[in-house]
C-alpha cells in the first residue's frame, strides 16, 4: 500500500462526502420553506380565512374565500382547454410514435414546456383580452390551459405506451375499428395513469402567478362570470406579500401554506399511485 494509493482512495472518499454535502445544501431550502410556512402560516389559518372576502386595506381580518373559488374556476377553464387537447395529443404520440408529425409534436411540446409562463400570459392577453377589451377569468383559463397542454401530452404518452401491445391486438382481432379501440380500450386501460398525470399538471398550474397578472387580473369580490376579472390564490398571495401590512403578510403565509399543502399532497399521492401501478405490472 503506497502513498499514491492512499491519496487516490482519500480523494474518492472526499468527493463522495462532497456530493453528500451538495445534496444536503440543495434540500435545505425545501425544509426551510416548509418550516417557515408551518410556523407563520398555521397561526393565521382560521375559519374566517376560508369563508370571508378580503378586508379593507390595512385592517386586520378578512380571508381569501373568493381567491380559492377563483382558482378552482380558473383550473376548470384550463382543464376544459388543456385536458382534451393534451390527452388526444398524448394518445397520438403513443400510437403513432415514429411519424414525422409525432416527432414534431413531441419536440414542440417539450419546448412549450420550457417556455416561461409569463409568455403564456402575454399570449392569452393578445388572444383573449385584446379582442374583449377587458381582463377576464376566461383569459386566465386560456393562459393556464396552454401551460397544462404539454404536461398532459407527455404524461399521457408515457402511460399509453405502457399498455401491452396484446391488448390492442386483441381488440383489433375482434373486429373493433382503430378509433374505437383507442377510445374504448386504450384510454380506459390507461385512465388511472392519465388522471394522475392530469392531477400533477393541475397542481403545477394552480400555483402559477405570472400568467394571471394581466389576464385574470384579480378581484376583491366574488365573481362567477367567466368574462369578468377573477381572483386567484397565487395572485392574492403576491398582492399581500408586497403590501405594507403585517396582517396581510400573515394571510399571505396562510395562503401559501394552503397552496403548498395542496401541491405537495397531489404530488405525493401521484407518486404513491404510480408506484402501485408499477408494482402491479
Q: How far apart are CA 66 and CA 87, in angstroms?
A: 30
Q: Is residue 252 part of the contact set for another protein (CB under 8 A)?
A: yes
CB 155 within 8 A of CB 91: no
Q: Is residue 207 part of the contact set for another protein (CB under 8 A)?
A: yes
Closer CB to another protein, 90 or 211, in the complex: 211
Q: Is residue 273 part of the contact set for another protein (CB under 8 A)?
A: no
Instruction: For the CB of residue 166, give the shortest distance to another protein in the complex, in Å.
Output: 25
The span of 6-14, 68-76, 154-162, 173-181 binding another protein (CB under 8 A) equals 6-14
Among 27, 57, 101, 132, binds another protein (CB under 8 A): 27
C-alpha cell at 46: 382560521
Q: Is residue 204 part of the contact set for another protein (CB under 8 A)?
A: yes
Q: Is residue 76 part of the contact set for another protein (CB under 8 A)?
A: no
Q: Is residue 256 part of the contact set for another protein (CB under 8 A)?
A: yes
Instruction: For the CB of residue 188, give the shortest distance to another protein in the complex, in Å.
Output: 28
Instruction: Write a three-state SS string for the chain.
Output: CCHHHHHHHHHHHHHHHHHHHHHHHHHHHHHHHHHHHHHHHHHHCCHHHHHCCECCCCCCCECCHHHHHHHHHHHHHHHHHHHHHHHHHHHHHHHCCCCHHHHHHHHHHHHHHCCCHHHHHHHHHHHHHHHHCCCCHHHHHHHHHHHHHHHHHHHHHHHHHHCCHHHHHHHHHCCCCHHHHHHHHHHHHHHHHHHHHHHHHHHHHHCCCHHHCCCCECCCCCCCCCCCCECCHHHHHHHHHCCCCHHHHHHHHHHHHHHHHHHHHHHHHHHHHHHHHHHHC
Among 6, 18, 46, 184, binds another protein (CB under 8 A): 18
Instruction: For the CB of residue 265, give the shortest distance to another protein in the complex, in Å.
Output: 11
> What is the contact mask toward another protein in residues 223 to 242, using x (rule: CB under 8 A)?
-----------x--xx--xx
> What is the contact mask toward another protein in residues 121 to 160, using x (rule: CB under 8 A)?
-x--xx--------x-------------------------
Nearby residues of 221 by Cβ (< 8 Å), 6 or more positions away: 53, 66
Q: Is residue 110 part of the contact set for another protein (CB under 8 A)?
A: yes
Q: Is residue 22 part of the contact set for another protein (CB under 8 A)?
A: yes
Q: Is residue 253 part of the contact set for another protein (CB under 8 A)?
A: yes
| Interacting residue ranges for another protein, rule: CB under 8 A | 8-9, 11-12, 15-16, 18-23, 25-27, 29-30, 32-33, 36-37, 40, 107, 110-111, 114-119, 122, 125-126, 135, 203-204, 206-210, 213-214, 217, 234, 237-238, 241-242, 249, 252-253, 256, 259-260, 263-264, 267, 271
Amino acid at each position: 500500500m503506497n502513498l499514491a494509493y492512499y491519496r487516490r482512495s482519500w480523494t474518492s472518499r472526499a468527493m463522495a462526502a462532497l456530493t453528500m454535502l451538495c445534496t444536503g445544501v440543495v434540500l435545505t431550502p425545501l425544509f426551510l420553506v416548509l418550516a417557515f410556512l408551518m410556523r407563520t402560516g398555521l397561526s393565521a389559518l382560521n375559519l374566517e380565512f376560508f369563508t370571508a372576502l378580503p378586508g379593507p386595506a390595512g385592517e386586520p381580518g378578512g380571508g381569501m374565500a373568493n381567491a380559492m373559488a377563483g382558482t378552482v374556476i380558473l383550473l376548470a377553464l384550463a382543464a376544459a382547454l388543456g385536458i382534451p387537447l393534451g390527452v388526444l395529443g398524448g394518445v397520438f404520440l403513443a400510437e403513432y410514435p415514429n411519424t414525422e408529425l409525432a416527432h414534431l409534436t413531441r419536440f414542440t411540446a417539450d419546448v412549450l414546456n420550457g417556455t416561461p409562463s409569463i409568455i403564456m400570459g402575454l399570449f392569452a392577453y393578445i388572444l383573449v383580452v385584446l379582442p374583449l377589451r377587458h381582463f377576464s377569468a376566461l383569459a386566465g383559463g386560456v393562459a393556464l390551459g396552454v401551460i397544462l397542454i404539454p404536461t398532459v401530452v407527455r404524461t399521457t404518452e408515457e402511460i399509453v405506451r405502457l399498455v401491452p401491445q396484446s391488448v390492442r391486438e386483441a381488440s383489433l382481432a375482434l373486429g373493433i375499428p382503430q378509433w374505437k379501440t383507442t377510445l374504448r380500450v386504450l384510454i380506459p386501460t390507461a385512465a388511472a395513469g392519465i388522471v394522475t398525470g392530469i392531477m400533477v399538471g393541475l397542481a403545477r398550474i394552480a400555483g402559477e402567478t405570472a400568467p394571471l397578472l394581466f389576464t385574470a387580473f384579480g378581484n376583491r369580490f366574488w365573481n362567477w362570470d367567466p368574462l369578468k376579472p377573477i381572483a386567484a390564490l397565487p395572485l392574492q398571495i403576491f398582492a399581500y406579500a408586497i403590501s405594507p401590512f403585517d396582517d396581510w403578510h400573515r394571510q399571505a403565509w396562510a395562503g401559501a401554506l394552503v397552496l403548498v399543502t395542496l401541491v405537495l399532497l397531489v404530488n405525493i399521492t401521484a407518486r404513491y399511485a404510480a408506484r402501485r401501478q408499477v408494482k402491479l405490472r
